[in-house]
Amino acid sequence: MEEVSKLRLLFTAANYIRTLPAYLSVLTSPHREIIEKDFNRWWKICSGMMDPISVKTRFKALNWLLLYKPEYRSLLLHRLRRNPKTIASVIQFLVTRILWKPLESLYIETEDIGGGLFIQHGFSTIICAERIGENCWINQQVTIGYVETECPVLEDNVMVNCGAKVLGGITMKRNSRAAAGAVVVKDVPENAIVGGVPAKVIKYQE
């Protein structure tokens, strides 16, 4: 039992060493404000999974997210590599990228993403929108992408459930949701839930 405790302490210490450069990168990044919005939302959503004793500081919570949520790693790296690409920002990105491997099957190709994006699972997911608003939620095996030369806009508080496809020059308006497996090829009104192939309005959220 004592050996197990020692191994846990060693594992924790090693990961704190890995997390420190990422933490310093966040503190000094020109994108710190939007990274903080991401962090706060992820911490809020994932807090039920965390040990409240071991993650009572922001540093320890960041360590937990980097360790157990590869989707968060991908999002953080996406933020760190955005413009302006100063020498310092390039170094921040490269060091964090070396220490924390992103989720390889998650492709984030959208530059303009509002704060608070939450990616649940994120396996085999492509995010290629013209713009994504604040506090959106994207699940696994989702494709958000082009039809010919146009790609979608997701406004604030949009949710795209597992396996859904949102394609072409359309807009999912505020508080709308694409149900699992939906193929969305037309504009989605505010507060609407759409489903089916092609997707149609199922109901409106209150």
Give the DSSP letter of residue 49.
G
Q: What is the pLDDT of residue 7?
A: 78
Cα–Cα distance, 199 to 6 (Å, whole number): 54
Q: Which residues contact 134 (CB under 8 A, 6 or more apart)?
A: 37, 114, 115, 116, 156, 157
Distances (CA, A) of 160 to 29, 131, 168: 29, 14, 15
Cα–Cα distance, 149 to 54 (Å, whole number): 48
Distances (CA, A) of 58 to 14, 20, 43, 128, 188: 17, 12, 9, 30, 37
Grouping H, G, I as helix, E, B as strand and the rest as coil, residue 203 is: strand
Cα–Cα distance, 106 to 124 (Å, whole number): 6
Closest by CA to 133, choosing from 104, 110, 105, is 110
Cα–Cα distance, 160 to 119 (Å, whole number): 10
Distances (CA, A) of 108 to 20, 54, 105, 178, 188: 24, 30, 10, 19, 22
Cα–Cα distance, 52 to 60 (Å, whole number): 10
* Residue-wise DSSP of 95-120: HHHHHS---TTEEE--S-B-TT-EES
Q: What is the pLDDT of residue 153?
A: 98
Q: What is the pLDDT of residue 62?
A: 94
> What domains appear along the chain, each with residue ranges and CATH number?
2-99 (no CATH), 106-204 (2.160.10.10)
Give the DSSP letter of residue 161.
-
Cα–Cα distance, 140 to 183 (Å, whole number): 15
Strand partners, 144: 127, 166
pLDDT in tens for each of the 206 residues of the chain? 556 567 777 877 789 999 999 999 999 998 999 999 999 999 999 987 766 666 678 898 999 999 999 999 999 999 998 877 788 888 889 999 999 999 999 999 999 999 999 999 999 999 999 999 999 999 999 999 999 999 999 999 999 999 999 999 999 999 999 999 999 999 999 999 999 999 999 999 87
Q: What is the pLDDT of residue 83?
A: 74
Closest by CA to 91, choosing from 17, 29, 20, is 29
